[in-house]
Amino acid sequence: MTGLSPGTTRVLAVVELGRAARVWGETGAELSAASREAPALDQDHAQGGVRGREFVFVSPQKMRRFRVYGSDPLVFAMAKPVSPYRSLAPARRLALMTHFIKSSPQARELYVQRMASRPGGFRVVTLRSWSPDRLAAEVVRLNAQSATDELDLLHLLYVELEPSIQITFLDASGVPHENGELRDDLAIPYADESAVVRAAAAVREKHGDDGERYLRTLARYNAASWPGIDRIAGDAVRE
């Protein structure tokens, strides 16, 4: 049972989280993992030699999965966090991937080659004949994006397609930018921790859950540039 600890975090049962949504379905009920079970979500499971029921939850502020093992629902382990990209709704992931493939011949060919290399995959000539929309839909359906792809897609989202959250953050932190794009000559870190705290509060107030995802993106990929962002982005789970 190494790594397991008493559960005290208030969580929301999974509504949509890839495979979990298809397995356990939607409950829509706000729960406390420390005090209430969720029978609709349980299944037999083995973890560390302990068999029992498994309960899957996700924090409403931060897409982290929690699993409860054994017969005691007060004990749970925190699973690997869902990446900011994977926490996007499927329709938004599809829209991002479609735009990415349409706007970059190199990206399209990358995914053609990657999909063709999968066991039982289509031939290259067949994939090249597909429309960008069809190719993007298949990439998203099979979760064929790499970790590097996820970063590129999030950059596309926050800098090119929907820069409003980044603009809010940069304005509040006092960091100069042009429509959300940072200058190349800025020194790292871009701001001190007090400015980062102020900017995170502005993002949360104005952009809600989408803002939380943006803060987690900074913490995951660019923490060195924004002092304290890893702690600030984690505050939502501990509230």
What string of DSSP letters covers the chain? -TT-EE---EEEE-S--THHHHHH-----EEETTT---GGG--EEEETTEEEE-EEEE-SSS--EEEE-SS-TTEEEE-PPPPTTTTS-HHHHHHHHHHHHHH-HHHHHHHHHHHHHSTTPPPHHHHHHS-HHHHHHHHHHTT---HHHHHHHHHIIIIII-THHHHHHHHHHT--EETTEEPTTPPSS-S-HHHHHHHHHHHHHHHHHHHHHHHHHHHHH-GGGSTTHHHHHHHHHH-
Task: Tell me which of 78, 108, 136 is where a domain ends.
Answer: 78
134 and 172 both lie in a single domain: no
Q: Do 233 and 167 lie in a common domain? A: yes
Q: What is the pLDDT of residue 81?
A: 67
Distance from CA of residue 63 to its chain's centroid?
Answer: 6
Q: What is the pLDDT of residue 184?
A: 85
Q: Are 51 and 98 in a shared domain?
A: no
- Pairing relation of β-strands 44-47 and 75-78? unpaired
User: Are 191 and 232 in the same domain?
Assistant: yes
pLDDT value at residue 231: 92
Indicate the pTM of the whole model: 0.65
Is position 191 within any domain? Answer: yes
pLDDT along the chain (239 residues), means of 10: 29 31 28 33 37 41 39 37 88 96 95 92 94 96 92 95 96 95 91 97 96 95 94 65
How many domains is the chain built from?
3
Within this chain, do residues 70 and 94 fall inside the same structural domain, yes or no? no
In a domain, 155, yes or no: no
Q: 152 in a domain, yes or no?
A: no
Domain closes at, from 78, 102, 133 = 78
Q: What residue numbers bound the domain in which 119 lies? A: 90-145
Assess if residue 71 is contained within a domain: yes
| 103 and 50, same domain (yes or no) | no
pLDDT score for 8: 30
Q: Does residue 85 lie in a domain region? A: no
The whole-number pLDDT of residue 183 equals 87
pLDDT of residue 132: 96
Do 176 and 233 share a structural domain? Answer: yes
